[in-house]
Structure 1
């Protein structure tokens, strides 16, 4: 079986975790701080705050941005459900907007139509690692006095107009889930260049504590903490951070390897008329966290039929990115909402295997399988 993804974790990463376990400090401590500093430097942001997952990163970012009950936050429905869930965590209402059919990223034109007096923020997703048009959304937010938060769960190492994702906006959220390019098993990060956000995010991730465990542990005099506000247990462990440091050192190389595989797919499928391939515009640089094919109306088979035939050939695939408004948890909130572009893009796309270490033989198997399936009898 060729899997849809496989984390690229080396012996050195395992050794770093092992050494950290034996160091005696295995929760949020010196390795987390080192990982934060290195990640901030990599992205070009002034600060980085490590948390337990990207959902936690989104939740805390919405809190420090001042989003709360009665507010509206515009976001894509076509995104993993965590995007919308984080908005609901703070009591705000997700307002789902359409995506662009080619990039799967938010449609600026559609977002403009959905801004109301209650709109307080736009949650911009870099879908599957493909950067969204940050400049246009920043201009829109400035015009209407809105906060822009970037959901960069899939976009570690991607770049927009020559700068790494993470340095453009004041709140950018990343995921280190095993399906992501940089993985720590699980985990997340928030980048910002605003000191006020940075200091409050660090408190919120640890129950609102005024001083960290590390500061108290290393102090030469008594230090007692105060819990300054309602906070959360969103800490990252030093074990995860030790792995993350090694992963970060390899990130650009891993992305280069992923782009080679994506290039093989692009070249092999470009002549198949019924397929729409990912498109990388000038100034946009994707880490190809995933590679998605979209099926045209003239495709001889349904998306699910293609996925089943791939599975029969020993090749895993995944459906296109979900639409939150059609999930059971959101059905009662949006019973009449119809987003035809998002729904079609979700229903008519599939994600192919792509991971560092994928052999030329495996790449060839996937390519030949797609060609055989689409050239079969109608």
Structure 2
């Protein structure tokens, strides 16, 4: 079986987790702090705050910005449903706009058309690791006085050229960037997330809110020679990462450059193998972007039925996934008034498939995938 994805975890991660288990401190503690420092240095962020997953990261981002009832947040429907759910958690209204059909990322022109006096934020999703047009989105956000949040769930290791300089996604280029360490991502802690920001006050709020609004963290109380009583100054959440997860994450960060290099080579090879299939739309990487290729997404020719192709490949031992979901088509958002055309988002969901891509793939694996796809497309 060729799976859709496979995390690269080895003895280094197992040893790190074992050391954390035997340390006597397995909840949020010194390894989490070290992971935050390592991540901040890697992406060039001033602050990094680890949390339990990217959904909680996005929720904390909006909560720290005091976004709530009566506010609108513009985002793409073409994303995992968490991007929309975090807006609803705050009582705000998600406003869905369409994507660029080449990059599958939110279209800045459509964002500009959707801004109203109620707009408080834009959540730009770096879909499948491909960076959004942050230069255009950042200028738009600044011009209208709204906050730009990066949903960078898939984008650890991706880069973007801004003002002639290459930066890692996560610096961040908006107010906040949020990452996921789910097993489908390039690096993983099993579950886990991270928020990065240049704003010290936002970082303080993240840290307060992720731990029940506790005024004094348990690590500080544990290390104090004096008895300390904590207060609970706001209604917070239990969004903490464990030291076991963080210890694995630190080892994964060491692998990240190699993993991204390998995935970029695999994506390039797919392009060679599939490049001359008539009607097959291959992924597009703008010259100002360097994707980590968290996924390799192809859009099938219009005459081809998506589910049939996927089933035929699965019958041959090749796992695929359909194009990224559209939240506005799901039951929780069925009643959402959608004033914006989402045609490209729907076409991407209905006609695109994600091919297997992971660091351990061999040349034979890729040839098998490409040969099977060619056969099903009659090429």
* TM-score (norm: length of structure 2): 0.97
TM alignment of 1:64-213, pairs within 5 A: 64-161=64-161, 162-167=166-171, 168-213=173-218
Deviation at 1:361, TM superposition (A): 1.5
In 2: Cα distance, 1:203 partner to 1:217 partner: 17
Shift of residue 364, structure 1, vs aligned partner: 1.3
Q: CA deviation at 1:335?
A: 7.4
Q: Is the 8 A contact 2:95 2:338 kept in 1?
A: no
In the alignment, the residues of structure 2 paired with residue 156 and residue 23 of structure 1 have an alpha-carbon distance, to the nearest angstrom, of: 28
Structure 2: distance between partners of 1:177 and 1:227 = 30
Alpha-carbon distance between aligned partners in 2 of 1:179 and 1:74, rounded to the nearest angstrom: 26
What is the SS of the residue equivalent to 1:6? coil
Q: Deviations along 1:282-332, whole A, 9 cap, x unmatched? A: 1200000000001233x4x21111101101111000000000000112112
**1:329 aligned to 329, 332, 344, which one?**
332
Shift of 1:111: 1.0
Offset at 1:338? Answer: 5.0
Partner of 2:315: 312
Work out the CA distance in 1 between the residues paired with 2:364 and 2:230. Answer: 57
Provide the C-alpha distance between the structure 2 equivalents of 1:165 and 1:335, rounded to a whole number of angstroms. 30
- Post-superposition, which runs of at least 4 consecutive aligned residues in structure 1 deviate over 4 A? 335-338
Q: TM-score, normalised by structure 1?
A: 0.97
The DSSP-based 3-state class of the residue aligned with 1:276 is coil
For residue 236 of structure 1, what is the aligned residue in structure 2?
241
Alpha-carbon shift at residue 273 of structure 1 (Å): 1.8
Cα RMSD, aligned residues only? 1.1
1:364 aligns with 2:367: yes
Aligned length: 374
Instruction: State the alpha-carbon separation in 1 of the partners of residues 196 and 341 from structure 2.
Output: 34
Shift of 1:109: 0.9
* Aligned mates of 2:130, 2:341 — CA distance in 1: 25
Q: How far has the Cα of 1:116 moved from its partner?
A: 0.8
Residues 278 and 291 in structure 1, CA contact (< 8 A), matched pair in contact too: yes
**In 2, Cα distance between the equivalents of 1:323 and 1:362?**
30
* Partner SS, residue 156 of structure 2: coil
